A and B are shown apart, each in its own frame.
Chain A
Amino acid sequence: MQNWHLLSLTTFLPLVGALFILTIRSDDPKVVARNARAVALLTSLATFAVSLLVLSTFNPTLPGFQLRETGSWLPSLGEGIGIQYALGVDGISIWFVLLSTFLTPICILSTVGAVEKRVKEYMIAFLVLETMMVGMFVALDLVLFYVFFEGVLIPMFLIIGVWGGPRRVYAAFKFFLFTLAGSVLMLVALLAIYFQAHTTSIPLLMNYHFPAHMQTWLWLAFFASFAVKIPMWPVHTWLPDAHVEAPTAGSVILAGVLLKMGAYGFLRFSLPMLPEASIYFTPMVYVLSVIAVIYTSLVALAQTDMKKLIAYSSIAHMGFVTAGIFSLTELGVEGAIFQMLSHGVVSAALFLCVGVLYDRMHTREIARYGGLVTRMPKYALVFMIFALASVGLPGTSGFVGEFLILVGLFKVNAWVSALTATGMILGAAYMLYMYRRVVFGKLVHEDLMGILDMNARELAVFAPLVVVVLWMGLHPSTFLDPMHASVTNLINHVQLARAVPHVAPAVAH
Chain B
Amino acid sequence: MTLDLVPVLPELLVVAAAVAVLMWGVFVQRDTTRDGFVIAIVAMVAAIVALGAIGGDRRLAFDGLFVLDRFAVFTKIMILLAAIFTASMSVDFLEREKIGRFEYPALVLFATLGMMLMVSSNSFLSLYLGLELQSLSLYVLAAYHRDSTRAVEAGLKYFVLGALASGLLLYGISLVYGFAGTTAFGPLAQLLGSGGATAKIGVIIGLVFVMAGLAFKISAVPFHMWTPDVYEGAPTPVTAFFSSAPKVAAMALFMRVLEGPFVHLFVEWRQVVVALSIASMVVGSFAAISQSNIKRLMAYSAIGHVGFALVGLAAGGAIGVQAVLVYLSIYLVMVVGTFAVILSMRRKGAMVERLDDLAGLGKTSPMLAFVMGVLMFSMAGIPPMAGFWGKFYVFMAAVQRGLWPLAIIGVLTSVVAAFYYLRIVKIMYFDEPVDGLDRVLGRPVALVMAVATVGVLALTFIPGPLLAGAKTAAMALFPAAG
Which residues of A approach B to under 8 Å, CB–CB? Answer: 73-75, 77-78, 118, 121, 143, 146-148, 150-151, 153-154, 157-158, 161-162, 168-169, 172-173, 176-177, 180-181, 184-185, 187-188, 191-192, 194-195
Contacts and interface: CB of A to CB of B under 8 A. Distances in A.
Contacts of B419: 173, 177
Contacts of A195: 396, 399-400
A176 B422 contact: yes
A458 to B, nearest CB: 29
B75 to A, nearest CB: 19
Nearest to B427: A169
Nearest to A217: B404
Query: Main SS of chain B's interface residues?
Result: helix
B214 interface: no
B50 interface: no
A77 B411 contact: no
Interface in B414-468: 414-415, 418-419, 422, 425-426, 429-430, 463-464, 467-468
5 contacts: A74-B467, A162-B362, A168-B430, A188-B407, A194-B399
B426 A169 contact: yes
B411 A184 contact: yes
Query: Main SS of chain A's interface residues?
Result: helix
Given A173-B422, A176-B418, A188-B395, A153 B430 contact: no
A172 B431 CA distance: 13
A75 B389 CA distance: 12
Interface centre among B323, B362, B383 (most CB of A within 10 A): B383
A191 B312 CA distance: 14
A492 B360 CA distance: 55
B377 A180 contact: no
A74 B462 CA distance: 8
Given A75-B468, A177-B415, A153 B393 contact: no
Given A177-B418, A188-B408, A188-B411, A161 B400 contact: no
A77 B319 contact: yes
B450 to A, nearest CB: 15
A288 to B, nearest CB: 23
B426 A173 contact: yes
Contact of A192 (B377, B384, B397, B399): B399
Nearest to A221: B408
State the 10 A-B residue pairs at the shortest beta-carbon distance, nearest first: A184-B411, A191-B399, A147-B383, A150-B383, A161-B430, A147-B384, A181-B415, A151-B384, A195-B400, A191-B396
Contacts of A192: 399
Contact of A187 (B362, B392, B468): B392
B399 A77 contact: no
Contacts of B404: 188
Nearest to B413: A184
B468 A188 contact: no
A119 B415 CA distance: 30
Interface size class of B (residues with CB under 8 A): 35 or more
A187 B383 CA distance: 11
A195 B404 CA distance: 13
B415 A191 contact: no
A184 B426 CA distance: 22
B319 A151 contact: no
A367 B392 CA distance: 50
B99 interface: no
Contacts of A158: 425, 429
B459 to A, nearest CB: 11
B122 interface: no
Nearest to B412: A184
Contacts of B393: 77
Contacts of A151: 382-384
Contacts of B425: 157-158, 161
B219 interface: no
A291 B408 CA distance: 29
Contacts of B295: none
B384 A77 contact: no
A176 B392 CA distance: 19
B408 A74 contact: no
Contacts of B395: 187-188, 191
Contacts of B388: 147, 150
Given A176-B422, A184-B414, A192-B399, A162 B429 contact: yes
Given A162-B429, A173-B419, A177-B415, A153 B464 contact: no
A64 B42 CA distance: 58
Given A75-B471, A188-B411, A180 B383 contact: no
Contacts of B422: 157, 173, 176-177
A180 B415 contact: yes
Given A185-B411, A187-B395, A77 B382 contact: no
B399 A161 contact: no
Nearest to B408: A188
B322 interface: yes
A499 B464 CA distance: 43
B407 A191 contact: yes
A154 B418 contact: no
B80 to A, nearest CB: 25
B118 to A, nearest CB: 26
A148 B388 CA distance: 12
